Amino acid sequence: MSNLRSRREVLKLLALAGFSVYLPGCLNPDTPPPPPAPTIPPTDSSIADTVAELEKAMVSNNVTYVYKADEAYEKLRLGYNLQVQKSPAIIALCKNTEGVAEAIQLAQQEGLKVAVKSGGHSFEAFSSIDDGLQINLSLLNNISWLENNQVAIEPACLLKDIYDALLPKKRLVPAGSCGTVGMGGLTLGGGYGFFARKYGLTCDNMVEATLVDGQGQIHTTQTGDDLMWALKGGGNGNMGVVTNMVFNTHRAPATFTRHRFKAYKLDKERTKELLQNYFEFSARLPATCFAAFVLNYKTMVLLITNYGKDNAPLTAMIERFAEISDKADIGTPKNLAKSLRNYYGIDHPLPFKNASAGYYDDYATIASSIDGVLDIVFRKHGLIFQINTLGGNIDNAEFEANSCYPHRKVPYLSELQAYWEEGKDPTHLIDSFNEIQNLLYDNGIRRQYRNYPHMGFKDWETAYYGADNYSRLQDIKQQYDPNDLFSNGQTVRLKA
């Protein structure tokens, strides 16, 4: 096959794959909408039209190298966070595992550091790299059914496509709610959502993976291996490229119920009362329930979901918030697949700043910080402070032993978000964002979620992984990436 025909084949696959761009952080559908879509180069034109621009020779039919002069470069380079854009020297568009191995060998020959893009939703654009080589896995998006209700999922599969494939068969893999997130990044950093409290994190349900390491060697690893331990929560571009994952699936519930409460024109005292009630009542919810407390300027939105039977703790929380909120929307069971589409998110890129804002045991964890946090959030529109429930079967001893995710016993995860219109100066929002992060750090909130990274985190190594797990990750990195090919942003460092 000629190089030209190879390029045409790859670009046809690109067009069929549909290179649309999506927002990485999915907003609660009950919060105010983000700014209008920015003006960006169109992405729906046929990428096959650019075949004549790809003049660089291919090493093989397994990978196409796209350079800055190629028309396809900008389409492939474009990140979902317009605030953080990277410009790799080469984009290696891989068709299979062998293509990834060949791209890694090229990076070694050329002395280029490597980043890995599956869905491209990294808040800090860790899925790309300036002047290095981006391994682009966009074409690795197949889903295959195996025996015993297991499913093989390639890393670029989007959650919405996974749900479309699994739910008609009445099966699911516990994952997130944002339909445009890629399965690779989600799983390798942990992965949580509506179903994690019952079935564990996404990574806990991965039982096998294929990895190409920093030396271009291909490995198959299973639960119980050191390498698999590292990939479950610490596999995001740290020591290799995962090209395939095998998951256990679970019986999907038939229905999904959402309850929503709102409170307006809040002051600090009322907000703290609402938040204290949130911690008190959500702590009793069963594993089939999920809750999120969302503060957007002076408006609170409380989301409670359930895919199990009605129960006394849920009823108690509904009754309490119906009493203390300004508006209550009590839901009824709906079709699961249709319900999940409400949380699939937005289909265009925009500038934003999102990050983890700490793990909380209870209200006492944030009591010393909350007045300062509210002072900043109430200052002006644009910041969203959110606290989500974890707990349940995430805190499972077997899952803990088989993964490097260290925060299992902590029942709440907070996140901080900021959005603004393209072309607007975000300095005031980013300054306020950093002010909150520093305030939380100064008040002892140091544990953070790796899938919600922030370059400003101090001691990020232990914040994401804990000291013991990080040291073990370094040892595994030494084995699989001894030349530190994967060195980008906040990747695991080799020991000195």
Scanning 18-148, the segments in alpha helix (DSSP H) are 72-77, 97-110
Residue 400: both structure tokens together: 């803990």
| 132 falls within a domain | yes
- Provide the pLDDT confidence category of residue 59 given band limits of 50, 70 and 90: low
- Provide the pLDDT confidence category of residue 349 given band limits of 50, 70 and 90: confident
DSSP state at residue 32 = P
What confidence score (pLDDT) does residue 168 get? 97
Lowest-confidence pick of 78-82, 225-229, 312-316, 447-451: 78-82
DSSP characters over 56-83: SPPSBTTEEEEETTSTHHHHHH--SBTT
CA-to-CA distance for 174 and 181, rounded, in angstroms?
Answer: 13
The answer to whether residue 14 scores a pLDDT higher than 60 is no
| 62 falls within a domain | yes
CA-to-CA distance for 398 and 408, rounded, in angstroms?
Answer: 11
The domain boundary residue, chosen from 105, 136, 167? 136
388 and 306 in a single domain? The answer is yes
Residues 172-222: tens digit of each pLDDT: 999 999 988 999 999 999 999 999 999 999 999 999 999 999 999 999 999
- Provide the pLDDT confidence category of residue 7 given band limits of 50, 70 and 90: very low
The domain boundary residue, chosen from 136, 155, 184? 136
392 and 447 in a single domain? The answer is yes
The answer to whether residue 13 scores a pLDDT higher than 50 is no
Identify the CATH number of the domain in which residue 248 sits: 3.30.465.10
Those residues with Cβ within 8 angstroms of residue 353's Cβ, 6 or more apart along the chain or in another chain: 83, 123, 417, 418, 426, 429, 430, 433
407 and 306 in a single domain? The answer is yes
- Provide the pLDDT confidence category of residue 2 given band limits of 50, 70 and 90: very low
Contact 307, 390 (CB under 8 A): no
The answer to whether residue 50 scores a pLDDT higher than 60 is no
Interval 291-306 mean pLDDT: 98
CA-to-CA distance for 452 and 66, rounded, in angstroms?
Answer: 29
Residue 54: both structure tokens together: 């790809």
The answer to whether residue 56 scores a pLDDT higher than 90 is no
CA atoms within 13 A on the CB side of 90: 21
CA-to-CA distance for 315 and 309, rounded, in angstroms?
Answer: 11
R_g of the chain computed on alpha carbons: 22
319 and 446 in a single domain? The answer is yes
The answer to whether residue 12 scores a pLDDT higher than 80 is no
| 488 falls within a domain | no
201 and 274 in a single domain? The answer is no
CA-to-CA distance for 374 and 395, rounded, in angstroms?
Answer: 30
CA-to-CA distance for 496 and 484, rounded, in angstroms?
Answer: 12
88 and 203 in a single domain? The answer is no
Residues 450-493: tens digit of each pLDDT: 999 999 999 999 999 999 999 999 999 999 999 999 999 999 99
Contact 291, 388 (CB under 8 A): yes
What confidence score (pLDDT) does residue 16 get? 37
Report percent pLDDT > 70 for the chain. Answer: 88
| 127 falls within a domain | yes
What confidence score (pLDDT) does residue 350 get? 82
180 and 244 in a single domain? The answer is yes
Domain range enclosing 445 = 255-462
What confidence score (pLDDT) does residue 295 get? 98
Residue of 52 and 478 predicted with greater confidence: 478
CA-to-CA distance for 111 and 325, rounded, in angstroms?
Answer: 59
Contact 86, 77 (CB under 8 A): yes
Residues 397-456: tens digit of each pLDDT: 999 999 999 999 999 999 999 999 989 999 999 999 999 999 999 999 999 999 999 999
| 489 falls within a domain | no
| 494 falls within a domain | no
What confidence score (pLDDT) does residue 348 get? 74
| 196 falls within a domain | yes
Place of tokens 């920093």: 214
296 and 413 in a single domain? The answer is yes
289 and 364 in a single domain? The answer is yes
| 486 falls within a domain | no
Those residues with Cβ within 8 angstroms of residue 114's Cβ, 6 or more apart along the chain or in another chain: 103, 104, 107, 129, 132, 133, 134, 135, 214, 237, 485, 486, 488
What confidence score (pLDDT) does residue 78 get? 82
- Provide the pLDDT confidence category of residue 55 given band limits of 50, 70 and 90: very low
What confidence score (pLDDT) does residue 47 get? 36
What confidence score (pLDDT) does residue 26 get? 58
The domain boundary residue, chosen from 136, 166, 182? 136
The answer to whether residue 4 scores a pLDDT higher than 60 is no
Residue of 284 and 27 predicted with greater confidence: 284
Identify the CATH number of the domain in which residue 66 sits: 3.30.43.10
CA 146 from chain centre, in angstroms, equals 26
- Residue of 257, 315, 321 lying closest to 285 (CA atoms): 315
Give the mean pLDDT of the chain: 90
- Residue of 197, 369, 373 lying closest to 292 (CA atoms): 197
* Distance set, CA 91 to CA 103, 136, 432 (Å): 9, 7, 35
Those residues with Cβ within 8 angstroms of residue 95's Cβ, 6 or more apart along the chain or in another chain: 10, 13, 61, 62, 63, 64, 139, 140
96 and 176 in a single domain? The answer is no
What confidence score (pLDDT) does residue 470 get? 98
Contact 456, 437 (CB under 8 A): yes
Contact 306, 335 (CB under 8 A): no
Residues 76-128: tens digit of each pLDDT: 988 788 899 899 999 999 999 999 999 999 999 999 999 999 988 899 999 99
193 and 326 in a single domain? The answer is no
Q: At 261, phi and psi to the nearest 5? A: -135, 145
Report percent pLDDT > 90 for the chain. Answer: 82
8 and 112 in a single domain? The answer is yes
What confidence score (pLDDT) does residue 34 get? 46
Structurally, how many domains does the chain consist of? 3
